């Protein structure tokens, strides 16, 4: 199966929030993405609601349930009690747990699984009891993967920010994609699924998918939204799907 594309709507929500107005519509843009072949939608509702609002989560859940039942909803966040209650109320198909501080501008590192797996394990179990798949944000480090497995999670999401940062250095790009690939191989050997996300583009996706042909899903927001300014959301989704091998 080709790598699935989940469109992250945070940048759309952040643009909307610049004014006290309802446009651009996060749900409306999500609909366009799904109509044009995206396999799912992703949001990361932070406590200060500086981009995705808690109300967006319920509206996007309804959009998928009512119009795109074959698609998936992925909600990312740090597992505070408020966040856990939010996902338990809205039941996304996948919850991606990230270790970022609420004040961070964006996620920029994976979990330290060796020291944090005992904290994560009961949270993973709680989410599983609600019927949700659990993915954990992970750095490109094969040695950490066995500790991720011990949490009981279903997948890891490779943090691809350093890979995205090599856009102007071909040698560094090859090194980063190999680090990601080695980590993915270690995860797969343990029976974990593999997602990826952060600073992925039409230009750098093909090399990543070629190195990790079993990559389950990529969630993409910033690069996809930037392209949508130029090409429109419908055409941009098609370009990203092609880059994923769809």
Residues designated as active site: 44, 76, 198
How many helices and strands (H and E) does the chain possess? 11, 8
R_g over Cα of the chain: 17
Q: What are phi and psi of 38, to 5 degrees?
A: -60, 145
Cβ neighbours of 37 (radius 10 Å): 15
Distance of CA 205 to the CA centre of its chain: 14
Nearest to 185 by CA among 162, 211, 204: 211
Q: How far apart are CA 55 and CA 70, in angstroms?
A: 22
Which distant-in-sequence residues (6+ apart) come within 8 Å of 218 by Cβ? 3, 4, 5, 6, 195, 196, 197, 200, 205, 208, 244
Residue whose structure tokens are 């090859």:
174
Contact 4, 39 (CB under 8 A): yes
Count Cβ neighbours within 10 Å for each residue of 63-84 and write b for 16 or more, e otherwise. Answer: bbeeebeebbbbbbbbbeeebb
Nearest to 119 by CA among 157, 79, 85, 59: 79
Distance of CA 24 to the CA centre of its chain: 21
């Amino acid at each position: 199966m080709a790598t699935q594309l989940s469109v992250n709507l945070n940048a759309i929500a952040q643009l909307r929030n610049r004014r006290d107005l309802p446009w651009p519509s996060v749900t409306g843009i999500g609909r366009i993405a799904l109509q044009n072949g995206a396999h799912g939608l992703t949001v990361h509702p932070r406590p200060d609601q500086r981009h995705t609002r808690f109300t967006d989560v319920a509206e996007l859940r309804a959009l998928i349930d009512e119009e795109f039942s074959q698609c998936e909803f992925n909600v990312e966040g740090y597992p505070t009690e408020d966040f856990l209650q939010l996902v338990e109320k809205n039941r996304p198909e996948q919850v991606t747990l990230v270790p970022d501080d609420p004040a961070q501008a964006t996620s920029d590192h994976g979990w330290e699984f060796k020291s944090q797996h005992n904290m994560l394990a009961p949270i993973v179990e709680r989410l599983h009891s609600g019927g949700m798949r659990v993915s954990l944000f992970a750095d490109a480090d094969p040695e950490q993967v066995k500790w991720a497995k011990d949490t009981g999670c279903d997948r890891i999401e490779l943090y691809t920010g350093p890979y995205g940062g090599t856009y102007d250095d071909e040698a560094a790009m090859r090194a980063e994609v190999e680090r990601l690939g080695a980590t993915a191989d270690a995860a797969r050997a343990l029976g974990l699924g593999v997602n990826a996300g952060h600073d992925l583009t039409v230009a750098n996706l093909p090399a990543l998918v070629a190195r990790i042909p079993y990559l389950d899903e990529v969630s993409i927001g910033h690069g996809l939204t930037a392209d949508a300014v130029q090409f429109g959301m419908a055409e941009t989704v098609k370009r990203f799907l092609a880059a994923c091998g769809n």
